[in-house]
Structure 1
Amino acid sequence: MKCPQTYQQKAMPLTLFSLLFLGVFAITGTNVIFANSQDDTITDKDITIATESRFIVDKSVPVNAIDVSTKNGIVTLTGKVNTILAKDRATRITENIRGVRAIVNRMKVVPLVQKDDPAIVLDVEAALAKDPATDSYEVTVASHNGTVTLHGVVDSWQEKQLSAQVAKSVKGVKEISNQLKIRPAAIRRDSEIKAEIMRMLQADVFLDDQLIGVMIRNGHVTLTGVVGSLAEKNSAFTDAWVSGVISVNTEPLKVEWWAKDRMRREPGDVIRSNEGIKQAIELALSYDPRINQNSIEVDVKNGIVTLRGILRNAQSKSAAQMDAENTVGVFLVKNLIKVRPPEQLSDSELESQVRQALANNALVDRYDINVTGRHGQIFLDGYMDSVFEISQAVKTAEKVSGVVEVINQLIYTPHHQHKSDEALWQELRQAFWWDPHLYDQDIRVSIEDGHVTLTGTVPTVHASKKAIQISKDTGAKKVTSRLRIQHAPDFFPA
C-alpha cells in the first residue's frame, strides 16, 4: 500500500498539496501551507477572509449575520448576535488571527428572548447570588433597555471582571456597563508591584515576555514593547492587574506578528525549577477569585504538578487545574482536589437545579441537554454545535451548588461528520497557518475518514494542546496526537 505522500513548498508548487492518495490527505510543516507563505505578506483582505473562515467553523457565532472589514490590521465587526457571550466569542476568535492589531466590535446584541428591565435586574441578581464565586460580592444591579450597569465594591480587578462575566450569561442582557470599584489594597511600592507583574508575565503560557517592558509610577502601569498577537497583548493586560495596581495602559505595547520570531523562549525558560513552578502556580491561584488558595496544596516534581486539598464546588477545582496548566514549565497536572459542598442535595434536586441553570444561560439554553445526577456527579449528554458551547455548558453545571463533578458526554454536532477529508484538510491548513502560535511549527497532519493524526515537533505542551483543539474545532471526528514536545523533561513521552 502506498503511504500518504507529503511535500515541501520549495520543491513543489502549492497546487500539489491537494493530491489525494487512497483517501488520505497529508500536509507537512504548517509554515508552508498557505499561498501567502511564499513571501510572508499579510494583507487586510487576507485577515478578513481568515476571520470569516474561522467564524464559519465556530458555530457559536452566526457567521451570516456578521460583517468583517479590515484596515491596517484593525478588524471591525458589525452585525447582530443574540448574546453578549457570542459577541465576545467573535472577539476572541479574531484576536487569535495572525496580523490582527486591534478589534473594533460594533456588533449589536438582539436577544431572542425580550425581557423588561425589572426582570433582567432580578435575573442578574439571581445569577450573581448563585455563582459560588460572586455570591458574597457587594454588587448593585440596574438595567436600562437591556444595558446592565453594575455598581458596588469588590476586592480586585479579577472580581470585577468575573462579576461582568456572570451577568453576560443572563438572557435578555444586551450590554454591560461595569462601574464596580476596586477596594484599595494595602499600599505597595512600585518596585514590588513591578516584580510581581514580571513574574506573572514570565509564568503565562499564552505569551512570550522577552520583548515586553514594564513601567510603573504610583501604581499606574504602562506596558511597552512588542508582542506577536492581539491575544498575547490582552493576556499581558490581564497579568498586569496585580495587587496595588490602579490602572494598566497597553497602548505602547505594539502587535506585530513577525515579533514571535524574535521572542522564542529558550529551553531553560520553559523547563523551570520545581520551586519556581510552584511559586508561579501559587501566585496565579492567589489572583483567581473562584479559588480559596489557602485550601490548595501544590506539589511540583519534574514538571508534573499535583494539586491537593478540599474545595466547596466543582468550579473551583476546574479553575485550579486551568491555572496550573496555564503556567510555564507545567507538563502534566494531577488534580487530587476533593469537592465537598457545604450541603449535599439529592440527585433529583441537583438535576433540577442544573437543568434550570442551563435554561437560564443565554448561550446554551436552546439545546436539549440530558442531565443525570449520580452521587453528586452530573452527567451531561446531547449534541451541540461547537466545542466552545460545550465548554460553556460544562462550566454552567459546575457552578451549581452541590455538584462535585461534571462528566462531559456532550457530542460535537454530527453535521461536521459529513465534511469530506479534503474540505477538513483545506480548513486545517489555513487554521494552522493563521494561528500566531502554530504558523511556523513542524506539524504534520494526515486525515482519513475524518480522523486527524498530528505528528511532528512543537516547542511546548501549550502548542500541542492548541493544535489538538483547533483540529477539534475545525470538525475532526477524532484527533490522535503523536506530537513530540521539544522543550520537555527527558521522561516526557514523544
Structure 2
Amino acid sequence: MDDKQLRQNVIDELAFEPSIDAASIGVAAEHGVVTLSGHVSSYPQKMAAERAVWRVKGVRGIAQDIEVRLPGHKRRADDEIAQRAVNILAWNTQVPQDAVKVRVSEGWVTLSGEVSWNHQRTAAEKAVRELSGVVGVFNQIEIAPHVQPADVKQRIATALSRHARLEADRIGIVVDGTTVTLSGDVDSWDERIAAESAAWAVSGVRNVVDRLRIT
C-alpha cells in the first residue's frame, strides 16, 4: 500500500470512529508512519484517535502531535482535578489503596507510586484520563513485583503459544532480571499488543521492551 492510500484509509477510519470529532485532525503518512496533528476537545478523544489509527492495515508507526484544547466550560482548576483523581482512584477496586500519588499541573496529571502488577498501573491511568479537565497523563507508576519467578521466559513462551492470534515460534524472548525483550515478526498491531500483554501478565516482569516488527 502506498502512502497516499494509507493516509486516506486513516482519514476514513478517524471519520468512522463515533467517539472522535475528526474535523480538526490532520493526517500525513510516509513509509508507513502516520503523523497526527491538529487538535481535539478532550484527552479521551486524543487516545481514541491513536487507537483508531493502529487499526488501519499498513500502519507501522505513529507520531502523535494532537493538542487537547478544552472548551471553556470543561476547564478545571488543578486542585479540583487532583482531588477528583484521588477520589476516583480510591473507589477503583483494581488500584491498591493509597498506592498511587497524584500531581496536576496545567491539566497534566502525573501518577507515581508502586503497584505489584501492570494491570493495576494501567487501571490507574485509565481511571484518571477520563476526568473532565485532564489534557494528558504521565504514568510514572513503578511495578514492584512480589514474586521473582526463575522461569519467567518459559511462562511467557507458554502463554504466547496458547494465544490463537500468535505464532509463538516467530517471537524471540530475552529475560534480563525483571526486563523482558520481545523481538521477531507479527502480522498486525493486535498481535503485537497480544504478545506484550502475555509478557506483562507474568508475575515478576517490571519492564517490557517491544522490538516486534509488523510485517
TM-score (norm 2): 0.91
Residue number among 193, 205, 208 corresponding to 1:245 in the alignment: 205
Superposed CA deviations along residues 243-284 of structure 1, whole A, max 9, x for unmatched, are 112321112x1111xxxxxxxxxxxxxxxxxxxxxxxxxxxx
Residue number among 129, 134, 148 corresponding to 1:173 in the alignment: 134
Shift of 1:155: 1.0
DSSP-derived class of the 2:104 partner: strand
Residue number among 83, 94, 112 corresponding to 1:133 in the alignment: 94
Query: 1:167 is aligned with what amino acid?
Result: V
Query: 1:96 is aligned with what amino acid?
Result: R
Residue in 2 that maps onto 1:124: 85
Sequence identity percentage: 28
Matches within 5 A, 1:48-197: 48-112=7-71, 113-134=74-95, 136-189=97-150, 192-197=151-156
Matches within 5 A, 1:283-322: none
DSSP-derived class of the 1:214 partner: strand
Residue in 2 that maps onto 1:200: 159
In the alignment of these two chains, the number of paired residues is: 212
Work out the CA distance in 1 between the residues paired with 2:145 and 2:209.
19
Shift of 1:49: 0.6
Contact 1:214 1:221 in 2 (8 A): yes
Superposed CA deviations along residues 137-192 of structure 1, whole A, max 9, x for unmatched, are 51111100001011211111221111001111111011111111212322221xx1
Work out the CA distance in 1 between the residues paired with 2:135 and 2:164.
33
Shift in alpha-carbon separation, 1:166–1:66, aligned structure 2, 3 A? same
DSSP-derived class of the 2:58 partner: coil
Contact 1:137 1:154 in 2 (8 A): no
Matches within 5 A, 1:467-478: none
Work out the CA distance in 1 between the residues paired with 2:97 and 2:61.
35
Shift of 1:236: 1.6
Residue in 1 that maps onto 2:183: 224
Contact 2:41 2:69 in 1 (8 A): yes
Shift in alpha-carbon separation, 1:194–1:219, aligned structure 2, 3 A? same
Superposed CA deviations along residues 363-385 of structure 1, whole A, max 9, x for unmatched, are xxxxxxxxxxxxxxxxxxxxxxx
Is 1:47 the counterpart of 2:6 in the alignment? yes
Work out the CA distance in 2 between the residues paired with 1:205 and 1:84.
33
Work out the CA distance in 2 between the residues paired with 1:124 and 1:206.
36
Shift of 1:203: 3.1
Work out the CA distance in 2 between the residues paired with 1:170 and 1:200.
34
Shift of 1:208: 4.1
Runs of 4+ in 1 over 6 A off after TM superposition: none
Superposed CA deviations along residues 10-37 of structure 1, whole A, max 9, x for unmatched, are xxxxxxxxxxxxxxxxxxxxxxxxxxxx
Query: 1:168 is aligned with what amino acid?
Result: R
Superposed CA deviations along residues 382-412 of structure 1, whole A, max 9, x for unmatched, are xxxxxxxxxxxxxxxxxxxxxxxxxxxxxxx
Contact 1:102 1:230 in 2 (8 A): no
Residue in 2 that maps onto 1:213: 172
Residue in 2 that maps onto 1:383: none
DSSP-derived class of the 2:97 partner: coil
**Which ranges of structure 2 fall in alignment gaps of 5 or more residues?**
none
Shift in alpha-carbon separation, 1:172–1:207, aligned structure 2, 3 A? farther
Shift of 1:209: 3.3
Shift of 1:207: 4.0
Contact 1:150 1:179 in 2 (8 A): yes
TM-score (norm 1): 0.41
Contact 2:178 2:207 in 1 (8 A): yes
Work out the CA distance in 2 between the residues paired with 1:203 and 1:80.
41
Shift in alpha-carbon separation, 1:146–1:48, aligned structure 2, 3 A? same
Work out the CA distance in 2 between the residues paired with 1:90 and 1:208.
29
Work out the CA distance in 1 between the residues paired with 2:85 and 2:164.
33
**Which ranges of structure 1 fall in alignment gaps of 5 or more residues?**
1-41, 257-494
DSSP-derived class of the 1:132 partner: coil
- Of the structure 1 ranges 104-113 and 133-142, higher mean CA displacement relative to structure 2 is found in 133-142
Shift of 1:135: 6.0
Shift in alpha-carbon separation, 1:207–1:56, aligned structure 2, 3 A? farther
Superposed CA deviations along residues 410-445 of structure 1, whole A, max 9, x for unmatched, are xxxxxxxxxxxxxxxxxxxxxxxxxxxxxxxxxxxx
* Structure of higher CA gyration radius: 1
Work out the CA distance in 2 between the residues paired with 1:185 and 1:128.
22
Contact 2:14 2:49 in 1 (8 A): yes
